Amino acid sequence: MEVQLTEERAEPPQAPEPERWWQLVRTALRGTHQDFTAGPIGRSLLLLAIPMVLETALESVFALVDVFFVSRLGADAVATVGLTESMLVMVYTVAMGLSIGLTAVVARRIGEKDADGAARAAVQGIVLGLGVAAAVAAIGILFAPRLLALMGASAAVQTIGSGYTRVMLGGSGTVLLLFLINAIFRGSGDATIAMRSLWLANAINIVLDPCLIFGLGPFPRLGVEGAAVATTIGRATGVLYQLSQLRRKDGRVVIRRRHLAIDTDVMANVLRLSGVATFQVLIATTSYVGLVRVVSSFGSSVLAGYTIAIRLLMFVLLPSWGLSNAAATMVGQALGAGEPDRAERSVRLASRYNMLLLGLVSLVFMSLAPQIVSGFTSDPEVLAQGVLALRTTAAGLVFYGYGMVLHQSFNGAGDTWTPTYLNLLCFWLLQIPLAWILSRHLEAWGVYLAIPLAECTLTVLSAMVFSRGRWKRQRV
């Protein structure tokens, strides 16, 4: 009997189904252990960017919540919040500068698969933050009334606001630690933990604010000081959550007892990068103050319209900052892994994403500026200035989207000097003088026009420097 054997034909391997957008969002919010030095660059960018966007947005919620509840207490209470926030600008500047340097070092160590090195850098960064916080707290606790007086506060504001200022400056360590520890998580690729820490901090602040301000239920009525207590408790709780995550055995950065010693070499490296980055942030901050000074010479209506436009721009730029921070992490880790080409491709792709995003925003703002600004004011003169400022500044958003990614990528590579020089040139030496000169001929519109002109110049120069590739050889 003849037996016929038939060879079973193997089925061809099936390609995996493409990941849907909502699956990608869910993965980003849940957290992932993906190695960001390998795999599709676009997916890696989005997994990092989604939680970073939410983290950036949540950081701005603290001041908004405080003002919302404190406004029920009157103008003096609101003035207290505004003046204290202006003092805290320097704390935020230092926190952002330290964060840039720490993110670069941690990302580089993670890319090198040096988990111990990342943990040591994390500890040194936290120690630096605690040192700054101790100095700010001492000054704030001892001299709160005098600081308010120096800021031009009335006697009434000094009387009711000293407690608020004392608590906010005394608890500034929570601000620094939130920024710094989240920088560790961003550099390591654990952006979801950074986002969750701010979710927790904001939730507690939102619940405690009305309770401590107005004395709801068993809580004491503390007035404006209650807002400071609620904010500090919320941030402190977020810091405790962060510290607990740094002890997780399955974390990307795990701090053990052996990492707790002071390492002067590692601290000096973090401080070297962070010191330059702090100056970099300070240049951008003070240039904004300079523009406000020029605009204010044209009266309150012009200043109000300009303020509305700038606040709208800052709000829509939050997603772009998240995407730029994601690119910085990708650059640092790729360079640590010895993959400079992957680092460059990450920047190119993130830049295109950012240009597309801000290009759409630019079209919306330029087309619907009257309708958007009218939601914030009914004053005809303020409305006219707000529309003019919004349309003019929005014209440069596409360029700004590209330049923003390049700037953060330099920082992610540890090349903090390049964006500092570029900021100094384009903001202090170009934007402010140009705004003043143009304002003599074009009035307020000249100031508005100087903003996109300076940003476009900054982007072109950044692209030229980026193409030379020196940032790929930066030692961190």
Q: What CA–CA distance (Å, rounded) separates 103 from 209?
A: 32
Q: Which pLDDT does position 62 carry in this prediction?
A: 65
Q: What CA–CA distance (Å, rounded) separates 426 from 434?
A: 10
Contacts 24+ apart (CB under 8 A), 445-448: 445/388, 445/392, 447/291, 447/294, 447/295, 447/306, 448/306, 448/309, 448/388, 448/389, 448/392, 448/393
Q: Which two tokens stand for residue 250?
A: 């399955």
The helix-helix angle for 191-214 and 61-70 (nearest 10°) equals 10
Q: Which pLDDT does position 22 carry in this prediction?
A: 75
Each residue of 283-310: b (16+ CB within 10 Å) or e?
Answer: bbbebeebbeebbeebeebbbbbbbbbb
Which of 197, 403, 248, 390 lies closest to 310 in space, CA to CA? Answer: 390
Q: What CA–CA distance (Å, rounded) separates 287 from 207?
A: 36
Q: Which pLDDT does position 35 carry in this prediction?
A: 81
Number of helices (H), then strands (E), in the chain: 18, 0
Q: Which pLDDT does position 18 carry in this prediction?
A: 57
Q: Which pLDDT does position 286 carry in this prediction?
A: 86
Cβ proximity of 279 and 420 under 8 Å: yes
Which of 275, 274, 247, 248 lies closest to 260 in space, CA to CA? Answer: 247
Q: What CA–CA distance (Å, rounded) separates 150 from 56?
A: 31
As averages over each run of 10 residues, the pLDDT of the chain (476 residues) reads: 45 52 78 82 88 78 74 80 82 92 95 94 94 92 89 82 92 92 93 91 92 92 92 95 91 90 92 92 86 85 86 82 91 94 94 92 93 86 92 92 93 94 94 94 93 94 94 89
Q: What CA–CA distance (Å, rounded) separates 455 from 355?
A: 14
Please, what sign has the CA dihedral across residues 430, 432, 437, 442? positive
Q: What CA–CA distance (Å, rounded) separates 141 from 170?
A: 6
User: What are the backbone dihedrals phi and psi of residue 305, each rounded to the nearest 5 degrees, phi first?
Assistant: -65, -40
Cβ proximity of 97 and 281 under 8 Å: yes
Q: Which two tokens stand for residue 445?
A: 């519109």
Q: What CA–CA distance (Å, rounded) separates 148 from 154?
A: 8
pTM of the model: 0.87
